[in-house]
Amino acid sequence: MEFDTVLPRSASAGVLAEILRLASPNRVSATGVSQHGDRHFQFHAELDVHAREWQMVSSFGKVYSYRNGTVSMPPDPPRQFEFGRGMPHEIGILCPDQLLLWGRRSESFYPVLAQEIGSHSILLTFEHIDDPAFRSTMVIDRRLGVIRKTAMLGDLTILTDVRIDQPMTWATNFQFAPITDWIRPDY
């Protein structure tokens, strides 16, 4: 991946391939926080790519999951879906090729800049195809091979604790500690 240089749209597939090489463990368990507008919530997410299963428990008490081809997104009834469809963003960042940011087909964003930040992270900046001032970012932790932070369309998601290659627990009884301070970056 070329750093500190504006990337042409034609570089998108290569950037995605490099991110998948760096950031796609088979199993990930993570806790984090998401902010959407003036509202935020905490979550615990688990993903097993090979089993094609995932689960997310929110601090609102909601449990979302995908198992045996069925996605459960309360309050909606369970539905049959392909793996990746209907996946919340908090799960999608654990499975980067499911994000709609890589300039494929009808995706509106594509990567325009890759930068090394801190001692172990890459910052990717994405640009909207019709408005170069409309941008989103993500931070990939090279030590763990996961996306740790996204800022997209005004929403922010940060993973605060990540474990890789652990079996899924399917636990639903998480106690989330109150957020009392700014979440300090670890780049």
E strand residue ranges, the chain: 27-36, 39-48, 53-58, 63-67, 70-72, 79-80, 109-117, 121-128, 131-141, 146-152, 155-164
Q: What backbone torsions phi and psi does residue 16 show, to the nearest 5 degrees? A: -60, -45
The pLDDT score that the predictor gives to residue 166 is: 87
CATH of domain 9-164: 2.50.20.10
Q: Which residues pair with 131 in a beta bridge?
A: 128
pLDDT the model gives residue 106: 87
Q: What is the pTM of this model?
A: 0.92
Domain ranges of the chain: 9-164
pLDDT of residue 24: 75
Q: For each successive 10 residues of the chain (187 residues), what is the average pLDDT?
A: 94 94 88 93 96 96 95 94 90 92 92 97 96 95 93 93 93 91 89
Q: What is the DSSP string of 119-140?
A: TTEEEEEEEETTEEEEEEEEEE
Residue 25, pLDDT score? 85
Nearest to 31 by CA among 105, 107, 93, 103: 93
Whole-number Cα distances in Å, 72 to 56, 68, 77, 89: 10, 11, 7, 15
